[in-house]
Chains A and B, each alone.
Chain A
């Protein structure tokens, strides 16, 4: 994978954040060393090794289908930047 300024800009847009030029340069350096490390791992022969998605040998953690109390709407809306009629109000988005 090519790590360059364009990639950093792309990641900024995906993450909805804006970095300063210094941060961009730092991010590029960090990404290069992180991805470089994975490239190193990628060079290993993993033939016959099952991909691992979880580090702990735990399976089937489930709950029963039981309704529990939800939060008070006032509490859930307490962090809303703006609210109206019980809804969170956000910047207009296109569906």
Chain B
């Protein structure tokens, strides 16, 4: 029998706000444990939360960029659960009136076309703390720095049919959240993590199969692997006459398999109720219009423009707009050198090459974006040749050197003195009489040899065109 995989996603993204959702503690990643904690986010009795205005703005921005309806009357709810990562023993979230509903995002479908993935809702909530397990003490250690960081949970309908669609969705979602400044989406720091709801059913079946949930997967590679493995596990189970149990499973990426965390029998009972400590939030049409007007050009529109106005290939535009950091580099390079095609070629070639070689993510590039434009200008002005430009770029990429200064300091500029080139070439001809005679006797290859000798004598520092022209002139005299 042939099966179809049905996947729905819940993506949690930490917002790029400076302070937490209900208190003034900093949200900066990587602080010493429990240094960004106060009575509110550590759940001390008698404290009152006050909502961070920027969280509402971020949620509306994300919602508008994802084609959602914005809820005018917002409320918060309490989700009760007992776990040491959450000192209050409840998470403030939105169950009954999420801030955004009924959106969509267009993704590349498995069959080669495109499809719209429906976004059921986006709600605001607070993150939990982080637990590390201490085997020596046989205990768990809690750090509440992340506790109370603002999150958006973006929930789709079960519209995905393949891992590739999920990966494309997350890449596009990440780009949109970065462009709109909602989140920095650093997956390796956990600021974007996905829960995967997955079931299988025979192709053509109307009803959904029983689904399992895999939580907090934080790399695209792990997400794709988890989907493949869980699909195979469920199909094998059904083929062997078994039944899929509705449960939460933990994906172990190093082992390449998932294991059961808790079965439905003891499913969590969250006892949601309206949060009494936070008054409702009313959003006006004017506020929505103002935020809509402030949205930047989004990845898809930008991509279309790059293709139509700049004439760039479709594949390149996907890469260039897929990361806000590459997009900014591209636009600044264009502005500096006025040559979008050359800028795109450099990014697609040298920049991606260096990123791959050094295992660097675009957000961690250190060089001044204007440097690439300067380098292209040096190349186009024949100040340096392409080989030198590539070598200088490696220095720019690794050490953020200024290309103009670097070329000057290291004497890499091409010779511009025609007289000096001519005299060097005369020396070459005098030393290679045999080849000169062969060339004059009609042997064309001899010319290539002489050019090679000439470039060598000039240590590659003369413009190739100029060397060819002068050599011809001398030989044909």
Contacts and interface: CB of A to CB of B under 8 A. Distances in A.
B34 A68 contact: no
Interface stretch (A20-28, A31-39, A40-48, A84-92): A84-92
A53 B239 CA distance: 49
Interface in A37-95: 53-54, 56, 58-71, 73, 76-77, 82, 84-95
Interface string B62-91: 000000000000010000101110000000
Contacts of B38: 68, 70-71, 76
Given A61-B51, A93-B140, A53 B134 contact: no
A67 B25 contact: yes
Contacts of B203: none
Given A61-B50, A66-B19, A71-B39, A87 B133 contact: no
B143 interface: yes
Interface centre among B32, B141, B278, B281 (most CB of A within 10 A): B141
Interface bin, chain B: 35 or more
> Secondary structure at chain A's binding surface: helix, strand, loop or mixed?
loop
Contacts of B144: 76, 88
B279 A59 contact: yes
A14 interface: yes
A33 B110 CA distance: 57
Contacts, number: 132
A9 B465 CA distance: 89
B83 A93 contact: yes
Interface string B41-69: 01000000011111110000000000000
Contacts of A15: 82
Interface stretch (B269-277, B326-334, B411-419, B447-455): B269-277
A94 B131 CA distance: 10
Contacts of B143: 86-88
Interface string B117-149: 000000000000001111001111111100000
Interface string B221-262: 000000000000000000000000000001000000000010
Nearest first, the 8 A-B pairs at minimum CB distance are A68-B24, A87-B141, A65-B54, A53-B274, A86-B33, A88-B142, A62-B53, A90-B84
14 contacts: A14-B80, A54-B279, A58-B279, A60-B282, A62-B56, A63-B50, A65-B54, A71-B42, A73-B32, A84-B137, A88-B142, A89-B141, A91-B84, A93-B84
Interface of A: 14-16, 53-54, 56, 58-71, 73, 76-77, 82, 84-95
Given A84-B139, A86-B32, A93-B140, 13 more contacts: A59-B279, A67-B25, A68-B38, A69-B24, A71-B38, A73-B34, A76-B37, A77-B34, A86-B35, A87-B33, A89-B139, A89-B141, A89-B142
